[in-house]
Amino acid sequence: MTSTPDVPPAPPQSDPGAAEITTAFTVNGTPRTVGADTRVTLLDALRDRLGLTGTKKGCDQGACGACTVHVDGRRVLACLMLAAQCDGREVTTIEGLSREGRPHPMQDAFVRHDGFQCGYCTPGQIMSAVALLREGRAGTDEDIREFMSGNLCRCAAYPNVVAAIKDVAREGGDHAHL
């Protein structure tokens, strides 16, 4: 039996069709610019280029909601949006929810109601929950479940997530004015 010698991997080939552009947008209130290939997603730009690792990469296919952020105040899946699409826009990540060193009311409610277990999906859950309140969709438990259905939790903390959202809604909704 013969063995195959280890062969080092071939060096990466540059893609002649790829174009690098500079995208200027505001992230969590701070103007930022990112130079990246036109195919780089907002998720990868946030995590790899800007060091904002609170936004999680779950499925990378738009099915789990772990990468939920706000763009111009609306929730989006950062894995499905290109960074170039954010030129001139306002992006808010989980890191941008706190004000003056204090957690957002939704973050506090998630802690009080144990709305997380492993915590991996929690940033996306919180970003969706904040948007859900802003959209006025927290009327009933069924409404909350429906409008949070794009955010999956493998630990099944769903009842606690609903309780946290209801708690913040009862207190008057989104106090951070995002």
CATH of the domain at 143: 1.10.150.120
> Which of 115, 118, 108, 117 minimizes the C-alpha distance to 160?
115
Q: Give me the domain span that covers residue 113.
A: 105-170
Are 123 and 62 within one domain?
Answer: no
Q: Are 164 and 115 in contact (CB under 8 A)?
A: yes
Please tell me the total count of domains within the chain. Answer: 2
* Predicted local distance difference test score (pLDDT) of residue 18: 74
* Predicted local distance difference test score (pLDDT) of residue 178: 42
> Which of 45, 19, 44, 43 minimizes the C-alpha distance to 34?
45
pLDDT in tens, the chain (178 residues): 444 444 444 444 556 667 899 999 999 999 999 999 999 999 999 999 999 999 999 999 999 999 999 999 999 999 999 999 999 999 999 999 999 999 999 999 999 999 988 999 999 999 999 999 999 999 999 999 999 999 999 999 999 999 999 999 998 865 444 4
